[in-house]
Amino acid sequence: MYRGTGSQATRRHDGLPKRRPHEEEEEIIRVPAFDNSNLIEKFKRTLIGRMFHSDGRSVEALLKHMPKRRIWDVEGRVRGTNLGNNKFLFDFDKEEDLEKVLQKRPCHFNRWSFALEKWTPTIKEEFPNAIPFWANVIGVPIHYRKQETLESVGKALGTFVKADVEGSKVRVLVDGDRPLKFECKVGFDNGDVVKVTIQYEDLYRYCFSCKRLPHEEGTCPDLNDEQREGNRLSRIAQHDLEEHATREAFSQPQRPRAGTEKEIHDTRSRGQELRRAEANPTEI
């Protein structure tokens, strides 16, 4: 019979003692050291991908369609494997095909962005999660449009890769698990602060409310039905206002400058007189 005191153990309803917290932890099976360099070598021409949106088309469809000529143009030279949990990999025959696909990022399937990176030996659950975008930085005054400004903005958006100063845009790796930034304030050494907006090239579907990639606003877990409908109607109204303003800007009739009608009348009269003179030279 168990004789432990209350200070040492507690009893279950069946009279048996409860396990202490450390006793309930699953035992770790220890694996002896081994050489896995052959496996690492095997996957040196492998890209691993991850879909953030779980309600879209299947991973199997993605594996089938992405290698096709009109998309990656590597069909027949790559093999795709579904790893489960919205993850997958592509094994390439040639390094140049792998690099060609990486240059086509950001990648989309059914207009949903997905991460695609070179395979690396890691056990991180969130890997891969980086998506490269060109981000246009709008609103930087021309006298502040320098490498330092764009690099600072790029680091605030994600991992900075490079900047196009003339185009006022940055190449960044954004974390697909975190909200995208579309606005930010930029401060300069002299105390000036400006607000800039961000436009991501080749970004399609995302949530307008929480700015995340895995869903659209209609299924955002942060909103209730009333909030979703209110946001939808607000966007429709804003879109209508913008279209109306555009139509107004291009449909304003231009006022004729002073004397235009008189000049037209005089020109027509002069033309008629010349034609009559040509028909009757004796009138000249």
Q: What is the CATH number of the domain that holds 143?
A: 3.30.70
Question: How far is the C-alpha of 214 from the C-alpha of 176, rounded, in Å?
Answer: 8
Query: 87 and 60, same structural domain?
Result: yes
Please check whether residue 157 lies inside any domain of the structure.
Answer: yes
pLDDT tens figures, 168-195: 999 999 999 999 999 999 999 999 999 9
Beta-strand relationship, 130-138 and 87-92: unpaired
Q: DSSP letters along 139-168, please?
A: ---GGG-SHHHHHHHHHHHSEEEEEETTTT
Please check whether residue 93 lies inside any domain of the structure.
Answer: yes
Question: How far is the C-alpha of 80 from the C-alpha of 59, rounded, in Å?
Answer: 10
pLDDT at residue 281, as a whole number: 47
Question: How far is the C-alpha of 58 from the C-alpha of 35, rounded, in Å?
Answer: 36
Query: 60 and 95, same structural domain?
Result: yes
Please check whether residue 194 lies inside any domain of the structure.
Answer: yes
- Phi, psi angle pair for 78, to nearest 5°: -150, 150
From residue 179, alpha-carbon distances to 105, 161, 182, 219, 250 in Å are 19, 19, 9, 16, 37
Number of domains in the chain: 2
Query: 110 and 52, same structural domain?
Result: yes
pLDDT at residue 261, as a whole number: 54
If residue 79 lies in a helix (H) or strand (E), which one and from where to where? strand 78-84
> From the CB of residue 13, how many other CB atoms can be counted at a distance below 10 Å?
6
Please check whether residue 175 lies inside any domain of the structure.
Answer: yes
Q: Is residue 77 within 8 Å of 93, Cβ to Cβ?
A: yes
**What average pLDDT does this structure show over 275-279?**
53
E strands along the chain, which residues?
Answer: 46-51, 78-84, 87-92, 107-109, 112-118, 130-138, 159-164, 169-175, 183-187, 193-200
The amino acid at residue 181 is: K
Query: 208 and 147, same structural domain?
Result: yes
Between residues 277 and 42, the one the model is more confident about: 42
Query: 211 and 139, same structural domain?
Result: yes
Nearest to 107 by CA among 176, 199, 43, 210: 176
Q: What is the CATH number of the domain that holds 75?
A: 3.30.70.330
pLDDT tens figures, 50-83: 999 977 568 999 999 999 999 999 999 999 999 9
Q: Which structural domain range is residue 78 located in? A: 40-118
pLDDT at residue 258, as a whole number: 53
Question: How far is the C-alpha of 192 from the C-alpha of 186, rounded, in Å?
Answer: 8
pLDDT at residue 12, as a whole number: 56
Q: Is residue 144 within 8 Å of 153, Cβ to Cβ?
A: no
Q: Which of 215, 236, 252 marks a domain boundary?
A: 215
pLDDT at residue 284, as a whole number: 39
pLDDT tens figures, 220-238: 999 998 988 888 888 888 8
pLDDT band at 243 (very low <50, low <70, confident <90, very high): confident
> From the CB of residue 158, how many other CB atoms can be counted at a distance below 10 Å?
22
Query: 176 and 112, same structural domain?
Result: no
Between residues 273 and 167, the one the model is more confident about: 167
Please check whether residue 173 lies inside any domain of the structure.
Answer: yes
Q: Which of 189, 215, 241 marks a domain boundary?
A: 215
Please check whether residue 270 lies inside any domain of the structure.
Answer: no
pLDDT band at 103 (very low <50, low <70, confident <90, very high): very high
pLDDT at residue 233, as a whole number: 87
Query: 204 and 139, same structural domain?
Result: yes
Query: 76 and 136, same structural domain?
Result: no
Q: Which of 190, 215, 240 marks a domain boundary?
A: 215
Q: Is residue 102 within 8 Å of 118, Cβ to Cβ?
A: yes
Give me 261's structure tokens. Answer: 């009608």
Please check whether residue 70 lies inside any domain of the structure.
Answer: yes
